[in-house]
Structure 1
């Protein structure tokens, strides 16, 4: 085969690989269409089939209430449940226990003081119980289901609400804490994401900083089932601020972390520093070794809220992209390989300001589901929760 033939074959192979890796158009797209402010923050593939979403809706004459919405596999709405109090509720995450019941975590407000709120509902969305944990010294960011109708939560806990510490707890089906642990108590920090590993351990991604400092770093922690740290992996970012939003297990037994990296445009220790945001990716070995750190810095700002591993071993990051000069702003999907190299991307249609791709999950049929727009301010006069179902890459 001559040189021209080799080049032609190679070119065709590269084109075929690029085309096969393109993020497809969604199979269906559903939007809440409720007037005023409502939003979706999390989604699970339901054990009963279809998908269940947690979010919030603004009730006329009141404030934001939790919502739980169940969708069929084709996107039809099966039921919607609104759960609230007289105060404002901000939903965060959702999980489904082994008996197919749901546990929803979020924040409720008592006289403008935030309180962690746990709500358990049966498989039809009927409330079983609700519990408030701690007071303003406790913040919960993520939840995962465990065996025998138990679950684990992570976030931060402090004695004075000024110096929070990285915190996790396991709870039984009645919402009673069975185990709790704090980590790096000489530092300020908050766990943002947790995963259960096949051997029974946990892995967490957390934000950590010196008490009273504006700059912060990413900390990954591997934790035994007894709640003891096996190792810490500290990813330092001097004079910057980072928000690790999701940790995921890679096919090669490593861990991937995605989030936001804020580069300060002035003095980071000023009262109100200004940041330029980029998407940050980190890969860590199963023993805690930092393999690489990458920042995707385009014109404008980018950020990652979640990621998932596709059947072909690549990853899709869900977040937001804002390219001010070119007018490309909106929810963003980025397909990357195991080394963090970009394969393809898709900018979803912008519906309103601050519209993010908040969560992404794989589906049993080889596709994936994305929801948004993520948490919105109550003062936002118009926002709609949305869910998109994609086929395989």
Structure 2
């Protein structure tokens, strides 16, 4: 891949900045999280759609912007710096490509307008108790009954299910074949009778995870994506689109900006933190690694766009390096705050942050983010699974 700077990107960056200047003030300067609150996500989606940027990650033939990989990275970078809400990543980066590739015209007509207009949020129903890393062992059943499937089972770690309107769901439609061959991919309205969502309070003291139960839930056969038994192939397609996303590059850049601000503001004794050689060295190493990760993100994303098979192996390498970096840099945040870093401050979206500590706005939620990033090396495919993928590919060479 050619990493020579593209002069046209500077003009594109200015275009994005001009657009962001006209965004309503209450949609800027926000503390971006894994996903912004529901109302902010939906409002932001409408703003983007009105500008013609409702699907910044999709090709033009699917209604997207058709931006290049460097343009997408510039867009994400500028939105993060401006503090805009996040989009619904479940649909724009995961389900959306699946719908574009596998959905029928009728299914696209049903879901795409609501996605573009910010009227429908999604969650993902993959993991189950005992079926996390070994996803193909899932047991949630879908039995055909006339024009419906009757779904029974349980999903776990269902992020934002309590806010979602729909869920894309892996179910077992045939228990008598090889486990990968008996899985199908369904879309389910979360208002369907028989669905129960129970909260899981995670180690960062926030509610974004849930258990989701399906008790004789009737799902129209028309909600099946692709064919029966094609769910595993569709899932591999979906997860291959997740590698570059898992790096969460805009968040990593935000972490770096905040860490530099801590270093140039906080004092240890009579010296700035940045003037302490051991911390300055740590900061420089983190900064260099972030630049390397950005180049790897560009490379993996470009390979994925070109449907190159090596994107899978490099994507697994990126997943490992980026998630481990997330953990180290959030640990550096807590260390930079000294005694204050030991306090588990409230989640950034909860009211009444504590007062009387340095850089209150930035420091609020730092410890919680460090706790949350403990899971980075687990969700989206554990580091152990990623290393297995890398080893398998190397063995085949």
Q: Which has the higher helix share?
A: 2
Say whether the fold is shared (TM-score over 0.5): no
TM-score (norm 2): 0.25
Q: Which has the higher strand share?
A: 1
TM-score (norm 1): 0.25
